[in-house]
Amino acid sequence: MKMVVIYALSTCPWCKKSKSFFKEKNIPFEFVEYDKVSKEEQQKIREVCSAHGETIAFPFVIIGDDVVVGYNPQKYTKLLES
């Protein structure tokens, strides 16, 4: 099973949909609300996003070594199956 990390905003409906997608499929994931962590942790998140060659946008979903920016259940499924 690939590791899944979701960086989200607490007020973002698409972030909540992403969280629900993984919950409904019983896929374990780490969920971090960017706007509720310290400034230091926000900087670390920005660095993670940059390391994946992406600008920070939410939801920012990491599945294994792949990244999906935005709510895209079809792509989530494809990456989980590969």
| pLDDT of amino acid 79 | 96
| pLDDT of amino acid 53 | 84
Establish if 57 belongs to a structural domain.
Answer: yes
Contact 48, 54 (CB under 8 A): no
Establish if 60 belongs to a structural domain.
Answer: yes
Establish if 2 belongs to a structural domain.
Answer: no
- Would the pLDDT of 1 be above 90? no
| pLDDT of amino acid 3 | 95
* pLDDT tens-digit series, residues 6-57: 999 999 999 999 999 999 999 999 999 999 999 999 999 999 999 988 788 9
- In the chain, the largest separation of any two C-alpha atoms, in whole Å, equals 35
Q: In CATH, what number is assigned to the domain containing residue 66?
A: 3.40.30.10
Compute the distance between CA of residue 24 and CA of residue 35 in angstroms, rounded to an integer.
24
| Structural domain span for residue 19 | 7-81
| pLDDT of amino acid 82 | 84
Residue type at 80 in one-letter notation: L
Question: Domain count of the chain?
Answer: 1
Establish if 46 belongs to a structural domain.
Answer: yes
Establish if 53 belongs to a structural domain.
Answer: yes
Compute the distance between CA of residue 80 and CA of residue 75 in angstroms, rounded to an integer.
8
Establish if 59 belongs to a structural domain.
Answer: yes
Q: Strands 4-8, 60-63: parallel, antiparallel or unpaired by DSSP?
A: antiparallel
